[in-house]
Structure 1
Amino acid sequence: MSAVVHRGIAPHRIGAMILRYWYLLLSSWPRLLELVYWPALQIVTWGFLQNYISQNAGFFAQAGGTLIGAVILWDILFRGQLGFSISFLEEMWARNLGNLMMSPLKPIEFLIALMIMSLIRLAIGIVPMLALATFMFDFNLFGFGLPLVAFFCNLIFTGWSLGIFVSGLVLRNGLGAESIVWTVMFGLMPLACVYYPVTVLPHWLQYVAWTLPPTYVFEGMRALLIEHVFRPDLMFYALLINAVLFAASFMSFIWLLNSARRHGSLIQGGE
């Protein structure tokens, strides 16, 4: 049994990496403050905007807080990817990746640790955000019921897929490419149709939007809040695309990791 565990995925190595990132997070109060500050700022800003619009437009008064819901779901997507990538960048900044890759730690174990850490970082930021949405704007995300599980899973899978891919790019190209960690998600934002339906886009661009899993999630959220209908077909298509993206991102990471080893950039890790 021990031989099987040794050849496969070792939970104790994953746990050790999670513990490392947890101690790193707790050792810096600015890191913790940042996790709470930006989500709280977003929900307050967009919440007041939602209140203003609902007071002056009958449609949005009936929309059940689509703006607030979109902000929260977008933050789950964005923070899921950023939480993964920031933990990865911690190793790049410390020039520790070379040491990790020479240890018994396997790439899959490293990625699993980063995924779990992204959930921890997400929870730290999203809990105060949900509390503000509930007590300041009377918006309860858990009122979505079971559809919330489908929304969350699809968004976090997309965030992980992008996090794995951009981490591979930074791994191969060095810290000179780290800005892509923050910009890649915002590049997808207009096409993901976070705050407006897909029909707003030009007809030819709608085909591009429907290739992105978050588009299905935000369309599903609007259908639930405005029409009070849950669309399982949208969640199924999002999950299908996510499975393809996740597999492709993992293979890309392994390819970029091997390329970094061949070119020596794994040890350098600089600009």
Structure 2
Amino acid sequence: MSGAAGRVAALILRHWYLLRSSWPRLLEMIYWPTVQMLTWGFITLSLRPGADVAGLGLGALLGAAMLWDVLLRAQLGTSLSFLEEMYSRNLGHLLASPLRPGEMLVALALVGLIRTLIGMVPTSLLAIWFFGYSVYDLGLALAAFFALLVVMGWSVSLFVAGLIMRVGLGAEGLAWGLVFALAPLSAVFYPVSVLPGGLQPVALALPSTHVFEGMRILIAEGRLDFGHLAWAAGLDALFLGLGIAAFLGFHRSARRRGRLLQTGE
């Protein structure tokens, strides 16, 4: 393999070796989604004593919790892969190599996807064991929801990675906290209708909101709302374009200012 594909594959392989040789990293990727799943699963059981655990209540809350972790893991997985290069002071070496910024962007996104799958697949299987609930019962819609949330996670992380590249590690807190600021507006565990009227248009401007609204409609009514899917896909395209533009723009600015070799605060 040579050319752009070879360079992307080489960076992915670097991060794969890093993950494979570090069991704490692998454990951390599985640990937090599992804690989230168990917490919401037991909360649901306590609210509905004696109820059928495979019913709508568990499906809506536990399914939402796991889909939220898809978004979170996609964002964190991509951002942390970039931060690994910053912490090891390897970013300057990468960008001095034939690796282009766009190729690095693609590699980081794919590493984020790998991290997401490592975290979410075991968690989804544990949900079947603990609660008899399978998120795979959503069928092909699950693949659509997963893809839409991963793309949104990429969009947020690319903006954060670009900002860190531009201003330094002083902005790394955004890698951990920015996506959480979107959670109240994403209507993860409740419908958009419970939000104040002024916030509802803001919520509906997020791809994640349409995913969670679509999930609840699918569970409650047994139908896939293609309107929500279309809105989520269109907004994802917009968000991803803005994320890529921000990453490349911050890279150009950092290169002009000589910030690429200054990876400290």
User: Normalised by the shorter chain, which TM-score bucket?
Assistant: over 0.9
Match of 1:11 in 2: 5
Q: Distance in 1 between matches of 2:51 and 2:179?
A: 30
Q: CA deviation at 1:55?
A: 2.2
Question: Which of the numbers 144, 155, 171 marks the counterpart of 1:150?
Answer: 144
**CA distance 1:147–1:176, shift in 2 (3 Å):** same
Q: What code does the residue aligned with 1:166 have?
A: V
Match of 1:184 in 2: 178
Q: Distance in 2 between matches of 1:90 and 1:208?
A: 33
Q: CA deviation at 1:107?
A: 1.1
Query: So what's the TM-score if we normalise by structure 1?
Result: 0.93
Contact 1:55 1:61 in 2 (8 A): no
In the alignment, structure 2 segments of 5+ residues that lack a partner are: none
Q: Distance in 1 between matches of 2:51 and 2:253?
A: 55
Matched-pair identity in %: 48
Q: Distance in 1 between matches of 2:50 and 2:130?
A: 19
Q: CA deviation at 1:121?
A: 0.9
Q: CA deviation at 1:142?
A: 1.0
Match of 1:42 in 2: 36
Question: Which of the numbers 80, 83, 87 marks the counterpart of 1:86?
Answer: 80
Q: What code does the residue aligned with 1:213 have?
A: P
Query: Is 1:128 aligned to residue 122 of structure 2?
Result: yes
Question: Which of the numbers 31, 44, 61 marks the counterpart of 2:25?
Answer: 31
In the alignment, structure 1 segments of 5+ residues that lack a partner are: none
Contact 1:13 1:105 in 2 (8 A): yes
The alignment partner of 1:266 has SS state of coil
Q: CA deviation at 1:57?
A: 8.3
Q: String of CA shifts for 1:28-85, please: whole Å, max 9, x gaps.
A: 2211111111111111111111111222789x95445211000100000000010000
Report the number of matched residues.
264
Q: Distance in 2 between matches of 1:54 and 1:223?
A: 21
Give the CA RMSD over aligned residues. Answer: 1.7
Query: Is 1:114 aligned to residue 105 of structure 2?
Result: no
Question: Which of the numbers 196, 199, 222 marks the counterpart of 2:193?
Answer: 199
Q: CA deviation at 1:209?
A: 0.2
Contact 2:41 2:58 in 1 (8 A): no
Match of 1:260 in 2: 254
Q: What code does the residue aligned with 1:138 have?
A: G
Q: Distance in 2 between matches of 1:57 and 1:67?
A: 14
Q: Distance in 1 between matches of 2:97 and 2:45?
A: 54
The alignment partner of 2:260 has SS state of helix
Query: So what's the TM-score if we normalise by structure 2?
Result: 0.96
Contact 1:166 1:181 in 2 (8 A): yes
Q: Could you list the runs of 4 or more consecutive aligned residues of structure 1 that deviate by over 6 angstroms after TM superposition? A: none
**CA distance 1:193–1:255, shift in 2 (3 Å):** same
